[in-house]
Amino acid sequence: MLSISDNLSRVQERIAAAAEKAGRCVEEIQLIGVTKYVDSTTAESLFATGCQRLGESRPQELWQKAKDLTSHSIEWHLIGHLQTNKVRRTLPLVHLIHSVDSARLLAAIDQEAALLRQPARILLEINVSGDENKHGFTPDEAEVLLPGLSVYSNVKVAGLMAMAAWKSDAVSARRAFARLRELRDRWQKQVPDGIMLRELSMGMTGDFEEAILEGSTMVRIGSALFADAG
């Protein structure tokens, strides 16, 4: 039986090794501990062990855990699909929404952020794998949106997010991540002044090393942190 602390150390070592292999500075890469598999108590243990950024893919689950763990300075990240009718309750709780996948959602977030008088930080989720079951803008859809992003004046678009296709091997995962990085580099020249597409949220338990080699700045890791932990 391993502890969450052992798992976290091991993941951090692997992140550091991948960064070194990529010739990158490890401080450029943030670990988002994905707590969707565990209850609030276990999420709290992960936080106590030194993982300050926690991610949930379902808004209701994030609300619940944020409520259970109010006393902590946890930085919450929403990494899964957000319906427009859940924006109001989610926005005040989160540091970053990784999964903005429609213009309609972007507009809803902008409107709520205006009411809160606090800019909302988001990433655009891009479907780079072409997997029809996945959320996210197609690259073409996103490209159309880019020049008009300044319309959403209460939203700060901080970068892009993507997932590799379900069950892809290391080579095709790496190709998908390279594609996201290339889109980011190209789109940075097409977005209105003041928008910096700095963040690339890519890489999960099965493929985070490939993602780091391709420039990931945020890896979203769940299973590897909780596997065999008691």
Ligand X SMILES: *Cc1c(COP(=O)(O)O)cnc(C)c1O
Written as six digits, the tokens of 58 are 């379902």
Query: Can you tell me the distance from the alpha carbon of 156 to that of 214, in angstroms, rounded to the nearest whole number?
Result: 24
Contact present, 181 and 216 (Cβ < 8 Å): no
Q: Cβ of residue 207: shortest distance to ligand X, in angstroms?
A: 8
Site for ligand X contains 15 (CB under 6 A): no
CA 2 from centroid of its chain's CA atoms: 26
Q: Taking a C-beta distance cutoff of 8 angstroms, is the pair 220, 32 a contact?
A: yes
> Mask: binding to ligand X, 190-229, rule CB under 6 A, as x and -?
--------------xxx-------------xxxx------
Binding track over 116-135 against ligand X, x by CB under 6 A: --------------------
40-49 and 4-22 helices, crossing angle to 10°: 50
Please, how many CA atoms are within 13 Å of residue 225, restricted to the half-sphere of its CB?
29
User: 46-85 mask for ligand X (x: CB under 6 A)?
Assistant: -----------x---------------------xx-----
Report the C-alpha gap between 200 and 218 in whole angstroms: 6
Residue 136 neighbours by CB under 8 Å, 6+ apart: 99, 101, 125, 126, 127, 128, 161, 162
Count residues contacting ligand X (CB under 6 A)?
12
Backbone angles phi, psi at 118, to 5 degrees: -145, 125
Query: Smallest gap, in angstroms, from Cβ of residue 34 to ligand X?
Result: 4
Instruction: State the nearest-atom distance from the C-beta of 127 to ligand X, in Å.
Output: 12
Comparison of 44 and 57: residue with beta carbon closer to ligand X: 57
User: Toward ligand X, which CB reaches closer, 36 or 88?
Assistant: 36
Question: x/- contact string, 158-197, with ligand X (CB under 6 A)?
Answer: ----------------------------------------
Instruction: Name the residue nearer to ligand X (CB basis): 12 or 188.
Output: 12
- Minimum Å gap between C-beta 203 and ligand X is 8
Answer for which of 31, 34, 78, 162 binds ligand X (CB under 6 A) is: 34
Q: Where are the beta strands (DSSP E) in the chain?
A: 30-34, 53-56, 75-78, 96-100, 120-125, 155-161, 199-201, 218-221
Judged by the rule CB under 6 A, the positions of this chain that interact with ligand X are 34, 36, 57, 79-80, 204-206, 220-223
